[in-house]
Structure 1
Amino acid sequence: MNILSVSDPFDVLVNEDITNWTRDEIVKVFLRYTDGKVIFIEKAQVAAMYNTFLVGVYLELTKIVGPAAKGLILNAAKKGGLRAGRGIRKRYEREIGKLTREKAFAIAKNMLTIWAKGFAWGKIEAEIGDEIRVKIEESFEGDGYKRLRKERAKQPMCWTIFGYMWGLFEGILDERLQGEEVECMAMGSDHCSFVFRPQ
C-alpha cells in the first residue's frame, strides 16, 4: 500500500495489518499536524505529555479521595475506549458489513499498535483467543511511576491504558468482559500484563 495516497485513515485501520509498520508509517497515515494541533484519524485532537504526569495525577488524586481514585480514572478511561470501540464497530458495519470476531480482533490489534508506536505507550503485544492477553514492555504509566517513586507500588498503576483497552475490546466486540492488570512494572515486574475474559 502506498501510504502517501491514503485518503481515509479509517479504511487503513480496518482493512490493513499495520502491526509491523514503523512509527513513521503510522504517524503519516493516522496523525495530521495542523494549526498547532495533532489530529488522530481525522477526528480527535491528541497531545504528548511527560510519562510522570498521569501517574502524578493518580498519586495526588489518591491522597484526596483514597482508593476510589483508581476506579474514577479506570472508569473514565474505559468509557473513552468504549466510545472508540463502538464507533469503529458502528462505522464498519454501516460502511462495510457485519464485523466478525476475527476482524474485530485484527482492528483492535491495529489500535494497540497505534497506541504503542504512534503514541509511545510501550511495546504492546496482544494474544487474542478465548481470552485476551496483553503484554506491555516499557509501559508509559509503569515507567512514570518508577520515575516518581523509589518504592514499589502496592497496586498496578497502568490505569489509563488498562481502562482504554478494556473499553475498546468491549466496544469493538460488543460484549462484556472482565479485566485485570496481573503484572505491573510499578510493582516490580519487568513488564505490565493484562487479561480480559468474557463475563
Structure 2
Amino acid sequence: MCDIARPLIKNKLINLQVTMLCLAAVALARPDKPAPAGYGYAPPTPAYAPPQPSYSAPQPSYSAPQPSYEKKEEGMPFDFEYAVRDDYKGLDFDHDSNSDGKVVNGQYRVLLPDGRTQIVTYTADHHNGYQAEVTYEGEAQYPEPQPYKPAPSYSAPAPSYSAPAPTYEQPKPSYGVPH
C-alpha cells in the first residue's frame, strides 16, 4: 500500500465509526419506547396552595359631587397694560385690560406680517362668557423681499500720520574714468 492511501482509509474508518455511534444513539432514544421508571419514588406534589381571600370588598363611602357651577366666586378687581415695539424685528403689540371683579373688559393689538393691525376688543363675565369683536386696520401688503444689507457700524479710520519727506540725494558715480 502506498503512503498516500493509508490516511484516506484511516479517515474513512473513523467516519464509519462515528456514523455507527450516531445510529446507535438514535435507536436507543426512540420516542415509542417508554421513559425509564426513575429511582423508585413518586414525583412530589405541590405543598403550597394560594390562600383564599378572607375579606369582602369595601362598600363605597362617598357621595356624588355637588354641582359647583351654581356658586361663582367674585373675582379680584385689576387693571393692567403693556406694549412691545421693536422696529428692527417688526414687532408691535399691546394689551390692556381691567376688571371690577365681575366683568373683564380689554383690548389687544397685534401687527400682522402682512402689514395690517389686528384689534381684538373683548368682554368676559360669568353670565355671557367671552365676547370678542375683531377688526383690522390698514391694507394687506405683500412686498418683494429685499436681501439683508446691514449698515456698517464703523467708519474708515482717519490717518494719524503725515506723508514722509524724501531724504535721499542724487547718487554720485562710484566708477572712475576708464584708462
Q: TM-score range by the shorter chain?
A: under 0.3
TM-score by length of 2: 0.21
TM-score by length of 1: 0.19
- Which structure has the highest helix share of the two? 1
- Which structure has the highest strand share of the two? 2
Greater radius of gyration (CA) = 2
